[in-house]
Amino acid sequence: MMPLSMAKPGESVTIRKITGRDEIRAHLAELGFVVDEVVTVVSELAGNLILQVKDSRVALDKTMANRIMI
């Protein structure tokens, strides 16, 4: 496993685990980041990511992306 922040633009990956406090995991789940969900990296700038999750695009900073393991 590796953090989502290591994924390259254009790559589709499957979420394996989400770490962090309960509030953080709940917030990410509300955004669509749940285990076994496929996400696509749209673009990356200085570690910050724009991701395609289900039918939405979501921006995550590097610290949040590091909590999502793929």
Provide the pLDDT for residue 26: 95
CATH number for 4-69 (one of 1.10.3720.10, 3.40.50.1100, 2.30.30.90, 1.20.810.10): it is 2.30.30.90
Is pTM beyond 0.85 here? Answer: yes
Using 50 as the pLDDT threshold, list the residues of the chain that sit under it: none
Give me 15's structure tokens: 């979420």
CA atoms within 13 A on the CB side of 35: 6
Say how far apart CA 54 and CA 47 lie, in whole Å. 22
Q: What is the pLDDT of residue 14?
A: 97
